[in-house]
Amino acid sequence: MRAAGRLTGIAVALVLAGCSGGSAGSATTPPDTGAGTGTGTAGMTAEQVCALLTTAEIQAATGLTVGAGVPEGVNVPSCTWTADSGALSISWEETSSVGQIAPGEQGNDSLKLVPVSGVGDKAYFTELGTIGAALDFAKGSNALNVSFGMGASASLAQIEAAEKALALDALARM
């Protein structure tokens, strides 16, 4: 899922005080079973995505105490950590999607791509106005999207700092 879609998903999850994942699939892509096993079309499994971060790293970067990551998806493997006041999601994506706004979100004037230095081979924040951001980054043949949502309790700068710190932690294990 590209950054804009992940941002919307995190925002909805926070509003509902829950988090859900997966995709409906398409005629050429089977539905995401949420089982978290197998690599599907991705270069990583959901369990491998979850293993990229520790709960201690998440707490240090976000200030949230989270439980264990929940692996989801096959074709788009992801991992979600939740807390009472926020959620963190990391998902595998195609390297070609880094630095791109999802086709369904193009023309949305609220979205802005911002290059990020020092993170992998290439990295971009997709900012949603001043209320949220998601960080897409690539290293070699893998790319990840890191989305941290805390509702109105965190500034855009705090969200981006947390996502960048977590991306750097994940890169150390990629």
Q: Could you tell me the mean pLDDT of each successive run of 10 residues in the chain, 174 residues long?
A: 46 30 30 40 85 95 92 91 89 93 86 96 93 93 90 84 96 93
Q: Which CATH class is domain 3-19+42-171?
A: alpha beta
For the chain, state the CA radius of gyration. Answer: 14
pLDDT score recorded for residue 86: 84
Q: Which amino acid is at 102?
A: A
**Non-local CB neighbours of 167 within 8 Å, separated by 6+ positions:** 119, 120, 123, 135, 137, 144, 146
How far does Cα 126 stand from its chain's mean position? 11
Nearest to 4 by CA among 116, 113, 165: 113
Spell out the domain ranges in the chain.
Answer: 3-19+42-171
* Contact present, 139 and 121 (Cβ < 8 Å): yes
Q: What is the DSSP string of 35-101?
A: ---S-TTSSS-HHHHHTT--HHHHHHHHS------EEE-SSS-EEEEEETTEEEEEEEE-GGGTT--
pLDDT score recorded for residue 21: 32
